Structure 1
Amino acid sequence: MPFQKLGNEALDAIVNVRLTSSEKERLKEDADMAGLGMSELVRRRYFGKPIIANADAIMLKELRRIGGLVKHVHNQSNGAYNSETIAALSTLKKYIEKLTAK
């Protein structure tokens, strides 16, 4: 069975790490929550790449969709609700930044 590729390089090296049973279970739970394998989770954490849980990814998609709808209301109303749409978009932006900063 060939190994996966990460970018242009094959994942051809293996590192064995000893963990307690509870540490392994926690690692598996974290990986499952992020929708990743344990190896990918460890690689991302070690190399400082972002890890976004599946639930957070779904929430981000929904927040962006809502932002698009608010923008549509603003455009269709010719800015009649300008202060409300600005407030809504600012709040959405804040939550999006909070989710992506994890």
Structure 2
Amino acid sequence: MKAKGNREIRYSHRHTVRFSEAEEASLREQAASAGLTLSEYLRRRLFGGRPIVARTDDQTTRELRRIGGLLKHNFETVRTTGRREDLEEMNRTFRALRQAIEALIHPA
């Protein structure tokens, strides 16, 4: 693993931890989802550091925010038309986007 400044970090100590088949599969799936090796994933889980966010969740969150921004630009146009139904539908859409983003950022 390369650290900042292209210095190599050498991991000289090894510890053995036993996992069930289901635990192992779950850990490997979570590591792959985060785009990390299993070792790096476990180090981050053990020692904290940056939160582990699945790449897909991060990309989805960015895309949902982008869509929300585009809808926000259209909001003024819809508001000038004066159609109450359109405004209510846009508000529902904004709420749904906000809920989806919150669910990705702060999973239960």
TM-score clears 0.5: yes
The amino acid that maps onto 1:71 is K
Instruction: Spell out, residue by residue over 1:54-74, the C-alpha distance to the aligned partner (whole angstroms, 9 max, x if none).
Output: 332232132112212211210
The structure with more radius of gyration: 2
Match runs of 1:22-101 below 5 Å: 22=21, 23-46=23-46, 47=48, 49-78=50-79, 80=82, 81-101=86-106
Instruction: Spell out, residue by residue over 1:37-90, the C-alpha distance to the aligned partner (whole angstroms, 9 max, x if none).
Output: 223322332317432223322321321122122112103334544333222112
Instruction: Spell out, residue by residue over 1:7-35, the C-alpha distance to the aligned partner (whole angstroms, 9 max, x if none).
Output: 9x974444423223624343222111222
- Whose helix proportion is higher, 1 or 2? 2
CA distance in 1, matches of 2:72, 2:8: 43
CA distance in 1, matches of 2:104, 2:38: 21
Identify the range of structure 1 (68-77 vs 11-20) with the bigger mean alpha-carbon deviation.
11-20
CA distance in 1, matches of 2:76, 2:40: 42
Report what 1:5 is aligned to.
3
| Alignment coverage as a number of residue pairs | 100
RMSD: 3.0
The amino acid that maps onto 2:24 is K
Runs of 4+ in 1 over 4 A off after TM superposition: 9-15
The amino acid that maps onto 2:104 is L
CA distance in 2, matches of 1:91, 1:38: 34
Structure 2: segments with no counterpart, 5+ residues: none
Structure 1: segments with no counterpart, 5+ residues: none
The amino acid that maps onto 2:92 is A
